[in-house]
Structure 1
Amino acid sequence: MHAWPASEVPALPGKGRDLRIHDTATGGRVTLAPGPVARIYVCGITPYDATHMGHAATYNAFDLVQRVWLDTKRQVHYVQNVTDVDDPLLERAIRDGIDWVGLAERETALFREDMTALRMLPPQHYIGAVEAIPGIVPLVERLRDSGAAYELEGDIYFSVDADPHFGQVSNYTTELMRHLSAERGGDPDRPGKKNPLDPMLWMAAREGEPSWDGASLGPGRPGWHIECVAIALDHLGMGFDVQGGGSDLIFPHHEMGASHAQTLTGEFPMAKAYVHAGMVALDGEKMSKSRGNLVFVSKLRRDGVDPAAIRLALLSHRYRDDWEWTDQVLQDAVERLGRWRAAVSRPDGPSADALVEELREALSDDLDTPTALAAVDRWAVLQTAGGGTDDSAPGLVSRAVDALLGVAL
């Protein structure tokens, strides 16, 4: 599966700072100091609807992580999946009377268009669950043969008790885990399971649903969590720098994925930091496909909204915070974009060297984008007041805002 084209990231003078970021597993900030190549895995979409603001906010957060790393003169090895076969996708295809493969391809293509418009840096490896199945099957067989998984009426379940570190990503109580499992695709009440929290690794073929050759597992399709594990281990290995996604993936997805990988390899942890973006609400409720309370990137673009303004709207909130999308949020971003573009259009202005360092410091401090935007705002005010004669300043500001914030002025 191919990703989307990369926008050029301008080179800036000097060098950026190592990223200090909140790690869900420890509950505090960690300083990430990767080697020459930083490794990141971000969980991708289930393509049964268009990209909404919640998606955009999540991918914006991890785009910033990449930009901070690139500014430290590192390379970035970024991997993202597409869950192109899963219950929600199949259910939507049945509801709409269309082929599930066509639905997945259509929505994945639209996602690529949205990511390109928003100047999100693409992954080096963009892998669909279906194309990963040949690598998933042997992992499930290994877990089963080692006693870390078991069969129940043809389905294969992972035993969470096989991983001594289970629970150390979310640090949730068993009660909360069970509640979230039921809410987010698990089946804690299924009779016969060894532990209600045990997740499915391989679903035996169901009538009327797609299935694949599972070798000794029998025909079927993979569970949600093992999909990402197979892709991450294949392309990044254990101990990669950041596992990323929205905060709704903390449990069960990232918890279970870590346990799968740790049990398979005997290594701990799967990732050095588990980083999660907050949820975006609309009309007081989390924006989600199931509720239907969505603001789509593609719809805003069709309505003539500049993608740079959409990105500024996302950047106006700290990535870890839950926040609410409103017309005012977008209007403020449109106006800010206009002020910034007017400021950099002049032939000279106040020196921007200090501004570049302010941006670097803000972003290295747990991606503090509101502080970064405020710094550019202050420079723009000085520029409007005629506060300088540095003819290199407008160009440097434009390059810095593009390189570090992904906003083209």
Structure 2
Amino acid sequence: MEIYNTLSKRKEKFVPREPGRVYMYVCGPTTYNFIHLGNARPIVFFDTVRRYLEYRGFRVKYVQNFTDVDDKIINRAREEGCDPLALAEKYVEEYFRDADALHVRRADVHPRVTAHIPDIIELIRRILDRGAAYVVEGDVYFDIGAYPAYGKLSGRSLEEMQAGARVEVDPRKKHPMDFALWKAAKPGEPSWDSPWGRGRPGWHIECSAMSLKYLGSGFDIHGGGSDLIFPHHENEIAQAEAATGETFVRYWMHNGFITVNQEKMSKSLGNFFLVREILAKYPPEAVRFFLLSTHYRSPLDFDDEKMDAARRSVERIKNSLRLLQEALSRPRREGKGVADEEFLAALERCRRGFVAAMDDDFNTALAISMWFELAREANTYLHAAGERSVCREALEKALDLAAEFNGVLGIFAVDEATGRMRLEERREEGGGLAEALLELLLEVRQEARAKKDWATADRIRDRLKELGIILEDTPAGPRWRRA
């Protein structure tokens, strides 16, 4: 398995700190609003990384934090006239609603900044003791001059970083790029006691403290969006390594930006989209498919046309799986013929291709193509069989392989009781009236067919087709799908 390491700027063979175990930290959201599509990309991708590592037999300890005290939270709370900590708690819960909808598994630990103030204070104390920070009027600043390796992640010099950053002019700093570890309290803001007076943590120290607490120095993978490389992750490294004298992280992974019409998604441009809004228009499996359909280090361009294509792609996979399930419900042969052996060999090629794709820096786009190859091989096999019985082992192997792929990619939800993928259409929260009416139409059509009223049955089928709903009459009853 190879991973592109942002620190070395190349792919490296993955060798974890401990054989058979992986320790992994991913920066989570600042909880002052619903998550947007840019937040969702790392959330979904690193969930997939974790799933694949487990698929390959590793025991994974996965930590994803919440920044629940921050300038953005404080400013939003002022606008809404509420308590900043209550606002943050509200959006932590909203985050889980959206993440659950996208089939993102909960992390082993979801630490919050406000629950780790003593850990943060202790880490700042260690940095001060090593001479890499200084106190000015209740503020504590990291002294970048005391850490010669500063800039090794972004690969930029101090002059380049300063030119590209909006640096607050503060004559109290030793260097303009020195950054806050602890901020002295301001009226009306959340604050905590510390050896330097009441205040709150700076942004960067939070992740250093929480990741070291749960994973220790030299943990395996630290992930996040590429916008975090500088200054956030650069500063994390400086703080942690100045405090411990040890390597902080072995592999740094960063996903590319979400763009809209080739422009980076941002609030200033007014082109950012909340996940909640997108899920109101598209099923979650299509959204997750879209987020994984491009290699994680490449930009991902968003528009309705691409989302529609993602939904159609998901439907193709669904239809193939339904056909396999229906074939399994009919009489099957236990023995294997030439066609069955060829199909089983094709399935094994798909499995090997999937593993090779994911082993090569988690190439989800190529891995997804192996699922389409599985669907194509299955459709060809079933079409050739026609009405004849097919091999039970071959059908079960195909469905098992699809379940393996889904276990990694997480496209479809899984029924906890049966362990099977859920392929039915999503019912919107609040009732699913349109789908309930569709089911009623199908009942009426079935009654017409039973009475040999073919004109009515055909009229319902044809009108639904005009509306984009395809009906298929199967031995197990009518089935519908979007065109």
TM-score (norm 2): 0.76
Q: Which of 175, 183, 191 is 1:195 aligned to?
A: 175
Letter of the 2:223 counterpart:
G
Q: Which of 189, 205, 209 is 2:185 aligned to?
A: 205
Q: Which of 203, 209, 222 is 2:201 aligned to?
A: 222
Aligned to 2:402: 398
Q: Please tell me whether the aligned partners of residues 180 and 251 of structure 1 are also in contact (alpha carbons under 8 angstroms).
A: no
In 1, the alpha carbon distance for the partners of 2:32 and 2:375 equals 41
Does residue 272 of the first structure (1) align with residue 250 of the second (2)?
Answer: yes
Q: Please tell me whether the aligned partners of residues 61 and 108 of structure 2 are also in contact (alpha carbons under 8 angstroms).
A: yes
Q: CA deviation at 1:104?
A: 1.0
Letter of the 2:352 counterpart:
E
Aligned to 1:82: 66
For the structure 1 residues 290 and 128, does the alpha-carbon distance in structure 2 shift closer, same or farther, using more than 3 Å as the test? farther
Q: Which of 318, 337, 340 is 2:295 aligned to?
A: 318
Q: Which deviations, in whole Å up to 9, do the C-alpha atoms of 1:76-103 show, x marking residues without a partner?
A: 0011111101111111222233332222
Q: Which has the higher helix share?
A: 2
Question: 1:297-312 residue pairs with structure 2 within 5 A?
Answer: 297-303=275-281, 305-312=282-289
Question: 1:347-358 residue pairs with structure 2 within 5 A?
Answer: 347=324, 350-351=343-344, 352-358=347-353
Q: Which deviations, in whole Å up to 9, do the C-alpha atoms of 1:230-268 show, x marking residues without a partner?
A: 101110001111111000000111111111110111112
In 2, the alpha carbon distance for the partners of 1:387 and 1:259 equals 62
Does residue 384 of the first structure (1) align with residue 379 of the second (2)?
Answer: yes
Q: CA deviation at 1:180?
A: 4.5
Whichever of the two has the greater Rg, that structure is: 2
Structure with larger RCO (C-alpha < 8 A, sep 6+): 1
Does residue 296 of the first structure (1) align with residue 274 of the second (2)?
Answer: yes
Does residue 21 of the first structure (1) align with residue 3 of the second (2)?
Answer: yes
Aligned to 1:5: none
Secondary structure of 1:392 counterpart: helix
Deviates more, 1:27-36 or 1:386-395: 386-395
Q: Please tell me whether the aligned partners of residues 26 and 222 of structure 2 are also in contact (alpha carbons under 8 angstroms).
A: yes
Q: CA deviation at 1:148?
A: 1.1
Q: Which deviations, in whole Å up to 9, do the C-alpha atoms of 1:275-304 show, x marking residues without a partner?
A: 10111022443223454422222222233x
In 2, the alpha carbon distance for the partners of 1:194 and 1:362 equals 48
For the structure 1 residues 92 and 180, does the alpha-carbon distance in structure 2 shift closer, same or farther, using more than 3 Å as the test? farther
Letter of the 1:213 counterpart:
D
Aligned to 2:411: 407
Letter of the 1:401 counterpart:
F
Q: Please tell me whether the aligned partners of residues 371 and 402 of structure 2 are also in contact (alpha carbons under 8 angstroms).
A: no
Q: CA deviation at 1:393?
A: 3.5
Cα RMSD (Å): 1.8
Q: Please tell me whether the aligned partners of residues 39 and 78 of structure 1 are also in contact (alpha carbons under 8 angstroms).
A: yes
Aligned to 2:46: 62
Secondary structure of 2:24 counterpart: strand
In 1, the alpha carbon distance for the partners of 2:156 and 2:231 equals 10
In 2, the alpha carbon distance for the partners of 1:180 and 1:130 equals 31
For the structure 1 residues 366 and 387, does the alpha-carbon distance in structure 2 shift closer, same or farther, using more than 3 Å as the test? farther
Does residue 42 of the first structure (1) align with residue 19 of the second (2)?
Answer: no
Q: Please tell me whether the aligned partners of residues 149 and 156 of structure 1 are also in contact (alpha carbons under 8 angstroms).
A: yes
Does residue 337 of the first structure (1) align with residue 337 of the second (2)?
Answer: no
In 2, the alpha carbon distance for the partners of 1:329 and 1:98 equals 39
Q: CA deviation at 1:33?
A: 2.4
Does residue 259 of the first structure (1) align with residue 238 of the second (2)?
Answer: yes
Point out where structure 1 has 5 or more consecutive residues left out of the alignment: 1-17
Q: Please tell me whether the aligned partners of residues 343 and 394 of structure 1 are also in contact (alpha carbons under 8 angstroms).
A: no
Secondary structure of 2:154 counterpart: coil
In 2, the alpha carbon distance for the partners of 1:79 and 1:306 equals 27
Q: CA deviation at 1:32?
A: 1.4
Aligned to 1:4: none
Q: Percent identity?
A: 35
Deviates more, 1:321-330 or 1:396-405: 396-405
Q: Which deviations, in whole Å up to 9, do the C-alpha atoms of 1:159-189 show, x marking residues without a partner?
A: 112223221111123233224442xxx53x2
Point out where structure 2 has 5 or more consecutive residues left out of the alignment: 328-339, 413-420, 422-483
Q: CA deviation at 1:47?
A: 0.9
Q: Please tell me whether the aligned partners of residues 42 and 62 of structure 1 are also in contact (alpha carbons under 8 angstroms).
A: yes
Aligned to 1:113: 97
Letter of the 2:308 counterpart:
Q
In 2, the alpha carbon distance for the partners of 1:272 and 1:145 equals 25
Q: Which of 49, 52, 58 is 2:36 aligned to?
A: 52
Q: Which deviations, in whole Å up to 9, do the C-alpha atoms of 1:343-362 show, x marking residues without a partner?
A: 01123584322212211111
